[in-house]
Amino acid sequence: MDKLKEIINERGEIRDGNILKVDSFLNHQLDAEFLYEIGEEFYRLFRNEGITKIVTIEVSGIAIASMAALFFKVPVVFAKKTESINLDKDVYSGKVYSYTKKKEYNIMVSKKYLNENDKLLIIDDFLAIGNAMKGLIDVAKQSGAEIKGIGIVIEKGFQQGGKFLREEGYNLKSLAIVDEMKNGSVVFREN
Amino acid sequence: MDKLKEIINERGEIRDGNILKVDSFLNHQLDAEFLYEIGEEFYRLFRNEGITKIVTIEVSGIAIASMAALFFKVPVVFAKKTESINLDKDVYSGKVYSYTKKKEYNIMVSKKYLNENDKLLIIDDFLAIGNAMKGLIDVAKQSGAEIKGIGIVIEKGFQQGGKFLREEGYNLKSLAIVDEMKNGSVVFREN
């Protein structure tokens, strides 16, 4: 998605440790109108997959998934990261190790909101090592639902998450794949 | 907002401890098309306030604030609940005691995204005791921005948050005010 690449170049910041900060439009401040365009692009890519639900994980996946859901006209279900006393006991659950936060956390989805008849599009903001995505896939599979697609806004192509998921046969589409960050600029993979 | 009241009656669940669960459309599964209508209603209520940014707090405020932002055509800034090593040191911060999670947490907003020229609409899903809202107001005020409105989806009118904020002079609008939950049904305040 060319406009995404332009916005990453204009507004992204490269930090030590191969960190790409996109806080100004995706992870802290949200450019809702642009996220709406991202949602539309995911619809273009996955519209023929018979999607019944969009699954994401809190926090940064929620706005993107919600925008996509306006086009697909299906609900979003977001996996929760910590147990709240308000949440049902009857949940699918899994574990994720967060590289940025250096700790493991639990994720969970209520059994009410996913079942074996669902055809899922999983959406997230970033794909790097893929730990969060593997946790989400694990949770989604517990429901018996079929994972029809995985949509990522920014894939770090120099980490193994994308390669792993493609080898496993998932229908993974990333709107921008960053192959390298050097000398303060981002090198994108050719389409 | 009559449609909201209908949906709360149809899809909300009352639990012990005056807990109203609206997980099926607002807090875990998201009915994006209905949240879009909620965003439009907030626009109708606050469209003449010269809003430059919408402020909310992760997690459940994000989808609603993003939908509203499509109408206002301004960015959303969401306060983050935990410190990530990716986040700038240069932040406005505050503390919130969560009644549902029985613990205090920190919230923060990067100084990059709020300043004294901003006219803010603060949006959140629930208002009960008002602890999260007081924390958000504290953080917003540190920036020097003007708080032009507060939009709440569901206010628990039998708790003191709404009363406190109105007495303080805030332009608070709640789309549904629950005055009582008894015998398994919700009693709404008359408009």
pLDDT tens string, chain A, 191 residues long: the values are 999 999 999 999 998 888 899 999 999 999 999 999 999 999 999 999 999 999 999 999 999 999 999 999 999 999 998 655 445 579 999 889 887 778 888 999 999 999 999 999 999 999 999 999 999 999 999 999 999 999 999 999 999 999 999 999 999 999 999 999 988 889 999 87
| Three-class secondary structure of residue A15 per DSSP | strand
DSSP 8-state secondary structure symbol assigned to residue A89: S
Which of A94, A22, A165, A140 lies closest to B113 in space, CA to CA? A22
Residue A61 lies in a domain: yes
Query: Which residues on chain B are in Cβ contact (under 8 Å) with A66?
Result: 30, 32, 35, 63, 66-67
Residues making up chain A, counted from first to last: 191
Q: Which residue has tokens 């806080």?
A: A23
Q: Where are the beta strands (DSSP E) in chain B?
A: 13-15, 19-21, 29-30, 53-57, 76-79, 91-98, 103-110, 119-127, 146-156, 172-182, 185-188
CATH at B169: 3.40.50.2020
Number of domains in chain B: 1
Which of A187, A156, A158, A151 lies closest to A9 in space, CA to CA? A187
Is B28 within 8 Å of A78 when comparing Cβ atoms?
yes
| A residues 24..83 contacting B (CB < 8 A) | 24-25, 27-33, 35-36, 58-59, 62-63, 65-67, 69-70, 73, 75-78, 80, 82
Amino acid identity at A51: I
Angle at A131 between CA A15 and CA A35, to 5 degrees: 65
**Is B170's Cβ below 8 Å from some Cβ in A?**
no
Strands B13-15 and B19-21: antiparallel
Domain residues for the domain of B99 are: 2-188
| Three-class secondary structure of residue A119 per DSSP | strand
**Is B132's Cβ below 8 Å from some Cβ in A?**
no
CB hemisphere CA count around A83 (13 angstroms): 10
Using CA coordinates, name the residue in chain B closest to A83: B101
Do residues A1 and A41 lie in contact, with contact meaning Cβ atoms separated by under 8 Å?
yes
> Is the predicted pLDDT of residue B83 greater than 60, yes or no?
no
B27 labelled binding-site residue: yes
Shortest alpha-carbon distance between residue B135 and chain A (Å): 17
**pLDDT score for A17:** 82
* Dihedral (CA of B20, B21, B24, B29) sign: positive
A130 labelled binding-site residue: yes
> Is the predicted pLDDT of residue B88 greater than 70, yes or no?
no
Residue A128 to residue A132: CA distance in whole angstroms: 9
Is B86 within 8 Å of A100 when comparing Cβ atoms?
yes
Residue A180 lies in a domain: yes
**pLDDT score for A103:** 82
> Is the predicted pLDDT of residue B117 greater than 90, yes or no?
yes
CB hemisphere CA count around B27 (13 angstroms): 19
Which of B21, B153, B165, B155 lies closest to B100 in space, CA to CA? B21
Residue A93 lies in a domain: no
| Three-class secondary structure of residue B157 per DSSP | coil
